[in-house]
C-alpha cells in the first residue's frame, strides 16, 4: 500500500545469513542483556555484542560460526555454539572447503595470531588473508614481521614478499 512501517522484529535484528544449501538460516537478534544468534529459530548462547560480519556457514552447510564480544575485552568466535578463547579483537574467519576446520585471526596485546580449530598459533605483528588448501589439510597466511611481509605455510615455512618496484617520476 506504499506505507512504510517499522516492525519490532526488524528493529531487533542485526543481520543474518542463509546456508549454502539453502536449508538453514542464522539471524543475529537483540535480546535482554545482549544478543543471540538463532539458527533455524533456536537461540544459541547470549553475548554482549557482535563483531563485524554475519554468521558464517561452512561450505557443506553443517557448521556455523560467528564473531562476538562475550564481555568487555573478550572478543571471540563461537563455532557450533562453543566459544573459543578471548582476544581483544578478532578478524578474518573461514572454514576449510570440506567444512571440517575453522580458522580466524585473533589479536591480543598488539600481536596477531591465526587460531585454527581453537588452537592459537605463533604471534606476529599482523596476520592477513588466511586460506586452506582444497583438501583442508594445509593452511597459508600472510604475516607482518619486523623486516617485511612473509607468506607462512603449515610447518612454519616462510617466504618473504618481494618489494614492489618504485616508479620514478619523470
Residue 12: pLDDT band (50, 70, 90) is: low
For residue 166, is pLDDT > 80? no
Give the span between the Cα atoms of 58 and 42, in whole angstroms. Answer: 18
Give the span between the Cα atoms of 44 and 78, in whole angstroms. Answer: 9
Residue 51: which of 9, 25, 8, 84 has the closest Cα?
84
- Reported residue count of the chain is 170
φ and ψ of 61, to 5 deg = 65, 10
- pLDDT tens for 33-64 read 889 999 999 998 899 988 877 899 999 999 99
Residue 55: which of 16, 98, 95 has the closest Cα?
16
Question: What pLDDT score was predicted for residue 165?
Answer: 38
For residue 107, is pLDDT > 90? yes
Question: What pLDDT score was predicted for residue 159?
Answer: 66
* pTM of the model as a whole: 0.82
Residue pair 67/83 in contact (Cβ under 8 Å)? The answer is: no
pLDDT: which is higher, 74 or 15: 74
What does the CA dihedral 11, 65, 40, 51 come to, rounded to 10 degrees? Answer: -10
Grid-cell match 604475516, residue found: 143
pLDDT: which is higher, 39 or 145: 39
Amino acid at each position: 500500500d506504499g506505507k512504510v512501517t517499522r516492525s519490532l522484529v526488524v528493529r531487533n535484528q542485526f543481520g543474518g545469513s542463509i546456508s549454502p544449501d539453502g536449508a538453514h538460516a542464522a539471524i543475529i537478534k537483540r535480546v535482554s542483556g545482549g544478543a543471540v544468534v538463532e539458527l533455524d529459530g533456536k537461540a544459541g548462547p547470549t553475548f554482549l555484542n557482535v563483531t563485524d560480519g554475519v554468521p558464517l556457514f561452512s561450505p557443506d552447510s553443517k557448521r556455523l560460526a560467528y564473531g562476538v564480544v562475550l564481555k568487555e575485552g573478550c572478543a571471540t568466535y563461537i563455532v557450533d555454539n562453543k566459544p573459543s578463547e578471548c582476544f581483544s579483537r578478532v578478524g578474518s574467519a573461514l572454514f576449510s572447503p570440506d567444512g571440517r576446520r575453522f580458522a580466524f585471526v585473533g589479536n591480543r596485546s598488539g600481536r596477531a595470531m591465526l587460531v585454527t580449530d581453537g588452537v592459537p598459533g605463533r604471534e606476529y605483528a599482523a596476520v592477513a588473508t588466511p586460506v586452506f588448501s582444497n583438501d583442508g589439510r594445509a593452511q597459508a597466511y600472510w604475516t607482518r614481521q619486523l623486516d617485511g611481509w612473509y607468506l607462512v605455510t603449515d610447518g612454519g615455512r616462510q617466504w618473504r614478499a618481494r618489494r614492489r618496484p618504485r616508479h620514478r617520476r619523470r
